[in-house]
Chain A
Amino acid sequence: MSTDELPEHPDWLWSSPEPKRSYDVVIVGGGGHGLATAYYLAKNHGITNIAVLEKGWLAGGNMARNTTIIRSNYLWDESAGIYEHSLKLWEGLEEDLGYPILFSQRGVLNLAHSMQDVRESVRRVNANRLNGVDAEWLGPEEVKEVCPIVNVSPDVRYPVLGATYQPRAGIAKHDYVAWGFARAAAAMGVDLIEHCEVTGIDVVDGRVRAVQTTRGRIAAGKVALCAAGHSSVVGRMAGVELPVQSHPLQALVSELLEPVHPTVVMSNAVHVYVSQAHKGELVMGAGIDAYNSYRQRGAFHIIEQQMAAALELFPIFARAHVLRTWGGVVDVSPDASPVVGLTPVDDLYVNCGWGTGGFKATPGVGWCYAHTIAHGEPHPLNAAFSLERFTTGALVDEHGAAAVAH
């Protein structure tokens, strides 16, 4: 087929300007968080002289690789605050962005397989309710009512003893979310600059002045890091050490199947989580690969273990085929909570440590981080997620609720 037979390219959702010599705010990383931060800086704070610098293409990192689970049923008040704020924003996001994002509130079940799981789950349900987060404790029969294909028989290695249920949880289409934020931010004057890698950060007298990039030096009033798996690398450019470790995290999809799975099911103990995408693929993920790596791939035995776990929970999947597996690089923090706030360098801000679970936070963190950048001090909802908490000891330990992988 010759090129003149190709259909017209559809309209671009954003323009691709040449970088200017300077900006009020430079955001490093054009994933979901960078784009949402730019959007709320423009929309809520009237700051539009912004560049989002992305070394690859927009949302080609974890934003395009995650399994899109959205929920807010975390244990501690601090987490409930920011994740529930985010979930409320998701509920109005399609209208706000004027762009379809296929947000589907189909609920999430977090299964309990041991008495310890049961105790922790019931505790978390109670904590959620006190924080205004919708949560219920379901017994095995009720689990089956919500998701008929889960095997709740007692004669398996890890029987289902019950589950927490958050009906307002769900999934969305991650690339549409990124495009929606990108389009709306660009329309307000934000420069989205792809294929522009930040290679250095200029700090003079303890204050950030500019970034060095593969497309030249760009002066900046403020610099906001949003580099997810590469946070340690960009942090070091400014002499800022961050308490995160980068690991591969894998996921997979089956071929397209008839709708069989009406909700999202996660299991900490058997180490798998499953939903069914709008198109019909089963989407599954597991835990991180154990070692540090910046390679966007992991080991096959992790996939095998994850399939074994999925089959025990869902015997109906026995004949399904794996269509595709992939990996991203996630920035894991010591307490399974993010770091969002100021750094020891003036006018340099950090957002990292979301690890395996930051997609759900995209609008919420964009909102709070934009406030932090605009005011030079944290929004009340991210104040607890400071870098100092590792010195003061005020950790926000979410290893229980962060679950298998997100």
Chain B
Amino acid sequence: MLLIPCPWCGPRDEAEFHYGGQAHVVYPDNPAALSDTEWARYLFFRDNPKGPFAERWSHVAGCRRWFNVVRDTATNEIHAVYRVGETGPVNA
């Protein structure tokens, strides 16, 4: 089980969290202006790297807040945790 350091509550068991997938996926400014290819990309394609991955978690059984984590998907090691609105490490 992962031990996830919530930026508000501190380290807690993974079972207290809900996973939110890739972080920093911005909703398109004007969806109607996108081509089908661009819309498909926004809807169905997410990064899936083997290595550092910026992702969202929500502490549903605690403070109920969303935040960002940089975790290495090859090792599950957590490299960084930062709040929504804060800037993550470069190359995350």
Contact surface of A with B, Cβ cutoff 8 Å: 230, 232-233, 241-246, 290-295, 299-301, 334, 390-393
Contact yes or no, A294 B73, CB < 8 A? yes
A390 engages B40 (CB within 8 Å): yes
* A residues less than 8 Å from B40 (CB atoms): 390-391
Bound form: Cα–Cα A294–B21 in Å: 14
Q: B45 and A243: CB pair below 8 A?
A: yes
Pick from B24-32, B47-55, B84-92 the stretch touching chain A: B47-55
User: Once the chains bind, are B15 and A301 in contact (CB under 8 Å)?
Assistant: yes
7 pairs of A and B residues whose beta carbons are closest in the complex: A232-B48, A290-B19, A391-B40, A299-B1, A243-B44, A390-B44, A294-B50
Which chain B residue shows the least CB distance to A299? Answer: B1
Is A392 in contact with B36, judged by CB distance below 8 angstroms?
yes
Please give the number of chain B residues whose Cβ is less than 8 angstroms from any Cβ of chain A in the complex.
26
**CA of A233 to CA of B37 in the docked complex: distance in angstroms?**
22
Interfacial chain B residues near A295, Cβ < 8 Å:
73-76
| B50 and A233 within 8 A (CB) | yes
Q: In this complex, which of B15, B41, B48, B75 has the most chain A Cβ atoms within 10 angstroms of its Cβ?
A: B48
List chain B residues, Cβ under 8 A from A230: 50
Q: Which residue of B lies closest to A391 (CB)?
A: B40
A244 to B46, CA, bound (A): 8
- Docked Cα-Cα span, A204 to B56, in Å, equals 37
Does B2 have its Cβ within 8 Å of any Cβ on chain A? yes
B residues within 8 A CB of A299?
1-2, 14-15
Bitwise, B64-79 to A at CB < 8 A (1) or not (0) is 0000000101111000
Q: Smallest Cβ distance from B47 to chain A, in angstroms?
A: 8
**Binding site of B, secondary structure by majority: helix, strand, loop or mixed?**
mixed
Partner of A245, one of B14, B15, B21, B36: B21
A292–B55 CB distance below 8 A = yes
Pairs across A and B, CB under 8 Å, 5 listed: A232-B50, A242-B48, A292-B55, A390-B43, A390-B45
Q: Determine how close the nearest CB of chain A comes to the CB of B69; give it in whole angstroms.
A: 9
CB-CB under 8 A from B18, the residues of chain A are 290
Q: Do B1 and A300 touch across chains, with their CB atoms under 8 A apart? A: yes
Query: How close is A111's CB to chain B, nearest CB, in angstroms?
Result: 26
Chain B residues, Cβ within 8 Å of A243:
44-46
CB distance from B30 to the nearest CB of A (A): 19
Distance of B51 from chain A, by nearest CB (Å): 9
Q: Are B1 and A301 in contact (CB under 8 A)?
A: yes
Cβ contacts under 8 Å, B74 to chain A? 294-295
Task: Kindly state the separation between the CA atoms of A173 and B50 in the bound complex, as whole angstroms.
Answer: 30
Bound-complex Cα distance A243 to B44 (A): 6
Q: How far is the CA of A330 from the CA of B13 in the complex (A)?
A: 24
Known: A230-B50, A299-B1, A299-B2. A291 touches B45 (CB 8 A): no
Q: Which of A244, A291, A301 contacts B19 (CB 8 A)?
A: A291
Chain B residues near A301 (CB, 8 Å)? 1, 13-15
Per the bound structure, the CA–CA distance linking A245 and B73 in Å amounts to: 11
Determine the chain B residues whose CB is within 8 A of the CB of A390 once the complex forms. 40, 43-45
Q: Is the CB of B44 within 8 A of A292?
A: no
Q: Assess whether B73 is in contact with A292, with CB atoms less than 8 Å apart.
A: yes
Contact between chains at B75 and A391 (CB < 8 Å): no
Contacts of B41 in A (CB 8 A): 241
A245-B46 in contact (CB<8A) = yes
